[in-house]
Amino acid sequence: MDERRVKAGVLVIGDEILSGRTHDVNIRQIAQFLSPLGITLGEARIVSDDQDAIVEAVRALSARWDYVFTTGGIGPTHDDITADAIAAAFDRTIDVREDALGILREWYAKSGTELTPARLRMARIPDGASLIANPVTGAPGFQVENVFVLAGVPKIARGMLEDVAGRLRGGVVTQSLAVRLENVREGDIANRLGELADAMPDVSFGSYPWFQELPDGSLSRGVELVARSSDLAALEQAGEALKALAGHR
Amino acid sequence: MDERRVKAGVLVIGDEILSGRTHDVNIRQIAQFLSPLGITLGEARIVSDDQDAIVEAVRALSARWDYVFTTGGIGPTHDDITADAIAAAFDRTIDVREDALGILREWYAKSGTELTPARLRMARIPDGASLIANPVTGAPGFQVENVFVLAGVPKIARGMLEDVAGRLRGGVVTQSLAVRLENVREGDIANRLGELADAMPDVSFGSYPWFQELPDGSLSRGVELVARSSDLAALEQAGEALKALAGHR
């Protein structure tokens, strides 16, 4: 084994996975996202919505692997206890944080959504953590030391990984760019995006639909397209091609 | 929590799962098989084909949970090291065992398959282990103490579970119901759901947001609420309360 091999652990948090009701796809998704970055998964664990179980697993994985990715348990409901458990695992305090609150306020203002006490819960961030952008529903994830705390909804977790990629020291250095298309549906561009991916094997492409409710009740929608590569010239070319997709529906 | 609750751990062994190349379905399959027996999963882990990693995980899970199910690594190739790792975890010797060899001989005689040295490897069973029948390809799994060693191929693992079921002492059987709310966001109902969870301690509640793109391109969203209990009357009451949540935004 290469001594410089970078390895990660994954911690999936959620009774719904252990009950068999929901099929986890995040372990595989994270493995596939990290692979082109030169990072491989060394271990994955699934634990229930139980603070002691989360604390123990986070500490064990954080000590053993270069990076740890957790998924699940950062929503607004009573069973969302991940943020508090991560704070406990690293002996940090936790409270509603202004930067996270600002993100929620801005996001909800656009959609006319009320910032209820329950939603305020999603601004609870451990002291000293850095936020992780959520391009799908706004509410941020966060990073404490080598642990990245992501949402459980796979589309959101995938979007958060994009924000995290730049913080990872991988075996291969990659760059990324994002193109945000409005009034475009994934299905409109899926074929051409697939062709593009086939034609540019050195670039990996990601597609993330977004939806936003406007105050007048109408729906604004679009797709955020992300390209990633270690070849900067190829990446630039990919960016132009992605922008052109909007005109080729 | 009920003291009679019976819980199990799952250990998935295999680099192909951690690499993201293969999607694990055994965790969910085992959870769904155990649930009607009154046994719930408390934890699952995925480790690589590495003896130290397997030994450590087996010991930890075996000590913590009533039962442990491992999948993967009992085939004929050099990277199938699960049997030896289980023997090491329980300080047992391991060798080709006559009863397992007999099963392989009989199975291969029927199909005219040659019993090669590689296939002989599948008759290596830890001392004192009891065999688990494999209705699909013959080569048996085995049980050591509270650990059941199953194949990784899902169909075979499923077949082996049938043979194992009779050896399991089940717990209280819990039932669950799901209520699917449309056009509701988690934040809309989080407060009332938390109050409900507090008011009904014999029922566990889960909340799972869903998003769905309709064929016409429009977006449908909502929340699936799940209640789980061994008390059927309480569960029914919970179901009514959950349906009523939609009207109380």
Q: What angle do CA A68, A124, A180 make, to 5 degrees?
A: 70
Q: Do B186 and A17 touch (CB under 8 A)?
A: no
Instruction: Tell whether A1 is covered by a domain.
Output: no
Q: Are B106 and B206 within one domain? A: no
Residue A241 has pLDDT above 50, yes or no: yes
Q: Are B31 and B132 within one domain? A: yes
Instruction: Tell whether A212 is covered by a domain.
Output: yes
Q: Which of B27, B205, B211 sits opposite A46 (nearest CB)?
A: B27
Highest-confidence range of A175-184, A212-221, B8-17, B220-229, by mean pLDDT? B8-17
In the predicted model, what is the mean pLDDT of residues A10-14? 97
Mean pLDDT for all residues in chain A: 89
- Which of A136, A165, A194 is the C-terminal boundary of a domain? A165
How many beta carbons lie within 10 A of that of residue A88, not counting itself? 18
Residue A3 has pLDDT above 50, yes or no: no
Instruction: Tell whether A68 is covered by a domain.
Output: yes
**What does the pLDDT read at residue B87?**
98
B42 touches chain A (CB under 8 A): yes
Q: What percent of chain A has pLDDT over 90?
A: 59
Structure tokens at B107: 């199975």
Q: Which of A24, A47, A78 sits opposite B194 (nearest CB)?
A: A78
Q: Are B95 and B151 within one domain? A: yes
Task: For chain B, positions 184-203, list CB contacts with chain A under 8 A.
Answer: 185-188, 190-191, 193-194, 197
**What does the pLDDT read at residue B216?**
80
Query: In CATH, what number is assigned to the domain containing residue B179?
Result: 3.30.70
Instruction: Tell whether A170 is covered by a domain.
Output: no
Q: Are A152 and A42 within one domain? A: yes
Round to whole Å and give the CA distance between A191 and A186: 9
Choose among A162, A149, A169: nearest CA to A70.
Answer: A149
In the predicted model, what is the mean pLDDT of residues A58-65? 98
Q: What is the predicted ipTM?
A: 0.81
Residue A133 has pLDDT above 80, yes or no: yes
Q: Are B59 and B161 within one domain? A: yes
The residue of chain A with its CA nearest to that of B40 is A19
Round to whole Å and give the CA distance between B220 and B209: 11
The residue of chain A with its CA nearest to that of B191 is A118
Q: Do A20 and B43 touch (CB under 8 A)?
A: no
Q: Do A35 and B19 touch (CB under 8 A)?
A: yes
Q: Which of A43, A113, A209 sits opposite B46 (nearest CB)?
A: A43
**What does the pLDDT read at residue A110?**
87
* Residues on chain A touching B218 (C-beta within 8 angstroms): 219
Q: Are B138 and B179 within one domain? A: no
Q: Are B102 and B204 within one domain? A: no
Distances (CA, A) of A213 to A118, A183, A216, B26, B240: 20, 13, 8, 39, 30
Instruction: Tell whether A97 is covered by a domain.
Output: yes
* Residues on chain B touching A211 (C-beta within 8 angstroms): 211, 219
Structure tokens at A65: 């692997």
Total domains present in chain B:
2
Instruction: Tell whether B170 is covered by a domain.
Output: no
Query: In CATH, what number is assigned to the domain containing residue A86?
Result: 3.40.980.10
- In a mutational test of the A interface, the residue from B13, B37, B191 whose CB has the highest number of chain A CBs within 10 Å is B191
Instruction: Tell whether A216 is covered by a domain.
Output: yes
Task: For chain A, positions 82-111, list CB contacts with chain B under 8 A.
Answer: none
pLDDT 10s digits, A36-49: 888 989 999 999 99
More confident residue, A1 or A147: A147
Give the mean pLDDT per block of 10 residues along chain B (249 residues). Answer: 76 89 91 90 96 98 98 84 97 97 91 81 95 91 98 90 89 84 88 91 83 77 87 93 78
**What does the pLDDT read at residue A249?**
47
A249 touches chain B (CB under 8 A): no
B244 near A244, Cβ under 8 Å? no
Structure tokens at B105: 């001989």
Q: Are A108 and A214 within one domain? A: no
B187 near B48, Cβ under 8 Å? no
* Residues on chain A touching B53 (C-beta within 8 angstroms): 43
B183 touches chain A (CB under 8 A): no
Residue A236 has pLDDT above 80, yes or no: yes
A41 touches chain B (CB under 8 A): yes
Round to whole Å and give the CA distance between B84 and A169: 35
More confident residue, A175 or A239: A239
Cβ contacts from A onto B, under 8 A? 135
Q: Which of B35, B187, B217 sits opposite A187 (nearest CB)?
A: B217
More confident residue, B194 or A60: A60
Q: What residue numbers bound the domain in which A120 lies?
A: 6-165
Q: Which of A35, A42, A48 sits opposite B48 (nearest CB)?
A: A42
- Which of A165, A184, A200 is the C-terminal boundary of a domain? A165
- Which of B120, B144, B165 is the C-terminal boundary of a domain? B165
DSSP category for residue A19: T
A78 touches chain B (CB under 8 A): yes
Q: Are A101 and A224 within one domain? A: no
Element (H, E) at B143: strand B138-144
Q: Are B189 and B118 within one domain? A: no
Q: Are B14 and B135 within one domain? A: yes
More confident residue, B88 or A224: B88
Instruction: Tell whether B122 is covered by a domain.
Output: yes
Q: Are A50 and A139 within one domain? A: yes
Round to whole Å and give the CA distance between B123 and B141: 9
